[in-house]
Amino acid sequence: MEHEYSPHRVAETIQHLCRYWEEKRKADAGRSGELLSSRAWTIALSREAGTQGAAIGHAVGQQLGWPVYDHELLERIAQDMGTHTRLLESLDERRTSWLLETFAAFQTAPFTTEGAYVHRLAKTVLALGSQGECVIVGRGAALILPAEKTLRVRLIAPLKDRIATIQKRLGLSHEKAIRQVEVMDRERDSFVRAHFAKDPTDARNYDLILHSSRLGVKGCAQTIVAALKCLETAPGQSG
């Protein structure tokens, strides 16, 4: 059944998918005569709640002329799975209990299990990464995609700033905004740890860590684009 999976099993599946896309890329390059190193870069943003990850991602996409996948990623997965986006929102960067999945399996309404969603999420992120030239916000993309052609960015900010951002964005009271930030951070952290067996707060998983309160949306976007240019022109890189 779908609920019978572990972080290690999912991590193994992701590794298998990575190998699949890499082999596919090599085969496609061989047929077209392209150099393997010419594969385009992808930018993956990991973020604490309230660090304006969506706004920064879209600012980066606008500067580069690249598509941005935030909620758009959810819409794409829903289309691929033949379901409604709203049915996936309850699974998006959240953990679903085994009991809830078991109960839902007996309902007549359409239902997608957490395992099915995560598997499709990993496949979609890897497919986008294999093509490159896109920005992916959240969903563990920075920890799924291979580092060789991914600029992995982590956005952080002081808790008080993040609470203020969520309060303004969602129109909440200060107390509710505090709880909302706590819940979002906890659910995102649990989602990544459970499914990808990695620590989303570990700085070693990223190429760039940015203080969004100090730099602002524009400053973060400009820094990310500058970092991308550095990676593209670094020794051993030709793409």
pLDDT attached to residue 95? 45
What residues have CB less than 8 Å from 60, skipping those under 6 apart? 43, 66, 68, 135, 221, 224, 225
**Cα angle vertex 33, ends 31, 37, to 5°?**
110
Q: What is the pTM of this model?
A: 0.77
Q: Which residues pair with 42 in a beta bridge?
A: 150
What residues have CB less than 8 Å from 170, skipping those under 6 apart? 177, 180
pLDDT attached to residue 112? 59
Domains of the chain in start order, with CATH, are 7-232 (3.40.50.300)
Per-residue pLDDT of the chain (239 residues; tens, 9 = 90+): 344 444 455 555 555 555 555 565 566 556 555 544 456 899 999 999 999 999 999 999 999 999 999 888 777 777 766 665 655 555 454 444 433 343 344 344 444 577 777 878 888 888 889 889 999 999 899 999 999 999 999 999 999 999 999 999 999 999 999 999 999 999 899 888 888 889 999 999 999 999 999 999 999 999 999 999 999 988 766 54
What distance in Å separates the CA atoms of residue 145 and residue 88, rounded to the nearest whole number?
22
Residues 65/157, Cβ–Cβ less than 8 Å: no
pLDDT attached to residue 73? 78
